[in-house]
Amino acid sequence: MRRKKRILIVGAGVAGKKLLEEILSHKNSEFIVLGFIDDNKKKIGTTILGVPVLGNIEEIKYFIKSLQIEKILIALPSVDGTIISDIVKKCLEVNAACQIIPRFGEIIQGKIDVKAIRDVKIDDLLGRPLRMHDFSDVPTLVRDETILVTGAAGSIGSELCRQIASYKPKKIIMYDWWENGLYDLGLEFKEFFSNTPFELAIGNIQDKNRIQQTLQRHHPSLIFHAAAFKHVPLMENNVIEAIKNNIFGTFNLVEAAKKENVKKFVFISTDKAVEPKNIMGMTKLAGEQIIKNANLSNGTKFFCVRFGNVLDSAGSVLPLFKKQIEKGKEAVQLILKAAVLGKGKEIFILDMGKPIKIVDLAKKFILLSGLLPEKDIKIKYIGTRPGEKLNEELAAKGENIVKTKFEKILMVRRKKIDNKRLKTLTENLEKYCELYNEKAALIALRRLVKNSQS
């Protein structure tokens, strides 16, 4: 007979009890539960289905050692992530493995399945809980509509495609220049979204004719423009390419959307457009200004959605940590909610919760790797890379922030540039780009940004 693993359950609440019931219902379970750990003093000393509540989290190392515990199962679906981090750290210090029950889904439905127990993920360790939002108003935006997503193979673009697919669109046009990424997304949709019609469109947003041909062929009613060059240090050394893609690529899409009478156009922007200190941020602020000035009394409604760094997005710090030590659903939910709200000219900003320090994220990621920060892995401080800002800002000093009817979506009010002035500024910028005069282009870009901030 196979020896059962000696375990403790952290959390003597509803989730912990259901987990115990599920384990006891399986005669062939690999676990034998020797006790609960809980910080509720009233529960300590009581029993749940014959299993004692031994003590609190501060005492967990003592009980692991004295009872020769091999694994800890965390059943705390709603606590702050810092508590999960503390539990994981204590377990690692005494060589006990940790697993956790899901924090959504089965808990909400009142179901706890032993099969759902999984390893602890970075989401569990965050100091803020991930939230799922009410989508009741999104179907009317998406259902039976043809939707174009640029940058569809990227982190935000691909997640937009997945979530849009849940609301029965007529068709999703996935537009990107990245052949391999687009191919992989197509394979994923064939397997998991087989009932959703889609088309993979290889193309560059800098190619005006390709954009016009794509819109004329498919007639999308809604465009999510997520395509951009976004790597800050890389764009510092590729000024012309950043301008051509992020500014004039956006302009190409705007002009094509007007011609094809697209209903709504959502420009995905970034916190780096706020009082920008780098080329990428400057080009995104210029893109915001183009979007704001594109609105007419009739026709396509253009608006922006601005948010900060997205956990685990391509090019973010998490994949880098993964490589050194061995997907952003909430942001996309809020983009869809903002698309419902937008009537034209708005700049929406998404409240993504309390910012997380990179050093804290690094420590949590080291814990996830089964190691202890500073003991097993030293953290090296290298400072900011070229063009990077140390802190996120989602609104500039001169911008007025107002609430909207949706929680976690705010709106920025800012004056737009005179259309003639904007045309002159962009024409000068385009001329220098065509000449590949990087110095003059940078001066023209800064002039455009200065006008956008005034």
User: What CATH class does 139-354+385-413 carry?
Assistant: alpha beta
| DSSP state for residue 231 in the 8-state scheme | -
Check if 5-125 and 139-354+385-413 are the same fold.
yes
Looking at residue 105, its pLDDT comes to: 39
Looking at residue 284, its pLDDT comes to: 95
Looking at residue 354, its pLDDT comes to: 61
Q: Is position 230 annotated as part of the catalytic site?
A: no
Looking at residue 310, its pLDDT comes to: 46
**Contact (CB, 8 A) for 263 and 300:** yes
**113 has pLDDT over 80:** no
**103 has pLDDT over 70:** no
Average pLDDT, the chain: 82
Question: Is the pTM of the predicted complex or chain greater than 0.85?
Answer: no
Per the residue annotation, which of 244, 272, 301, 364 is the catalytic one?
272
**1 has pLDDT over 60:** no
Tell which wins on pLDDT, 211 or 405.
Answer: 211
Q: What is the pLDDT of residues 412-425, one digit of tens each?
A: 877 778 889 999 99
The domain locations on the chain are 5-125, 139-354+385-413, 419-453
Q: Give the whole-angstrom CA distance, residue 233 versus residue 63.
A: 49
User: Which CATH number, 3.90.550.10, 1.10.10.410, 1.10.3720.10, 3.40.50.720, labels domain 5-125?
Assistant: 3.40.50.720
Q: What is the dihedral of CA 174, 179, 182, 186, to 10 degrees?
A: 110
Looking at residue 2, its pLDDT comes to: 66
Tell which wins on pLDDT, 126 or 431.
Answer: 431
Q: What is the mean pLDDT of residues 387-405?
A: 66
Q: What is the pLDDT of residues 185-240, one digit of tens each?
A: 999 999 989 999 999 999 999 999 999 999 999 999 999 999 999 888 899 999 99
Confidence of residue 336 (pLDDT cuts 50, 70, 90): confident
Looking at residue 407, its pLDDT comes to: 73
- Please identify which residue in the block is written with the tokens 């108003």: 137
Q: What is the mean pLDDT of residues 322-345?
A: 71
Task: Provide the pairing of β-strand 146-150 with 222-225.
Answer: parallel
